[in-house]
Amino acid sequence: MQSVIGGVVALAKGFATTLQFAFQKKPTVSYPNVKIQHAPRFHGLHELRRYDDGKERCIGCELCSIACPANAITVIGAENTPEDRRSPGERFAARYEIDELRCIFCGLCEEACPTDAIVLTPRFEMADYRRSSFIYSKDRLLVPQDAGKGTAPDERPNGIPSDLGSVIEQKSTVDIMAGYGATHRGEILKTERKGLAG
């Protein structure tokens, strides 16, 4: 008899739990209509930045290509001429291609770049129908002449660029800006190492 009553109580508890859940707020975000704001250091689609005077930052040194663990970057440099100065240095990138299907979005290209030319933006909606359309060349990577100079990761505002659609606040238990104030990833790494040693 005891076990029967216990069983009935257990059943009732189970039913109460499921019914309670039915009235709870759902955590689902109806994605294409609403987007969650994510961390400013989110690694998304690449961007080639410019200087204030409109010149390309990329000097065609191919360091990003060498650093890339996925062999996703192809750079072919060319000499600047006095008539046509594309970048302040001696050379510029005549061709700059990233295969976004190979890319693992690790951000090593960003770290390798001596002029902070290649950066990863928080854009992530790259879906397309053809493989060939995932090879991004300069026409899509380089910030257009009239669209400013592109933002460095450390000066980027929190979250998704406004042209991506409506954004809701992310309820995160960790402060996503904490540690980012140090701006340089090297600094962060240093503090982390110190923490480990101490």
Partner 1 sequence: MTVAHVLDLLNTVPWWLVVTVKAVIVLVIVQTVFAYSMLFERKIMAWMQLRPGPNRVGPWGLMQPAADAAKMLFKEDLTPKTADPIIYKLAPFISLICAMGAFAVIPFSESSAGIWGVADVNAGILVIFAITSIGVYGISLAGWASGSKFPLLGAVRSTAQMISYELAMTMSVIGVLILAGTTSLSGIVHAQAKVWYIIPQIFGFAIYIITAVAETNRAPFDLVEAETELVGGFHTEYSGLRFGLFFIAEYLNMITVACIATLLFLGGWNAPFGLTIVPGLIWFVLKAGLFIFMYIWLRTTLPRLRYDRLMNFGWKFLLPAATLNLMVTAAIVAVLG
- Contacts with partner 1, residue ranges (CB under 8 A): 11, 14-15, 17-19, 21-24, 26-28, 30
How far apart CA 116 and CA 124 sit, in angstroms, is 21
How far apart CA 145 and CA 101 sit, in angstroms, is 27
Closer residue to partner 1 in complex, CB, 17/162 = 17
| Token pair 């859940």 in the structure block, residue | 21
- Could you tell me the smallest distance in angstroms from the CB atom of residue 136 to partner 1? 31
Cβ atoms within 10 Å of 153's Cβ, excluding its own: 20
- Could you tell me the smallest distance in angstroms from the CB atom of residue 8 to partner 1? 11
Closer residue to partner 1 in complex, CB, 13/130 = 13
Closer residue to partner 1 in complex, CB, 22/147 = 22
Closer residue to partner 1 in complex, CB, 27/198 = 27
- Could you tell me the smallest distance in angstroms from the CB atom of residue 29 to partner 1? 10
- Could you tell me the smallest distance in angstroms from the CB atom of residue 24 to partner 1? 6
Longest dimension (CA), the chain: 98
How far apart CA 85 and CA 173 sit, in angstroms, is 49
How far apart CA 23 and CA 175 sit, in angstroms, is 29
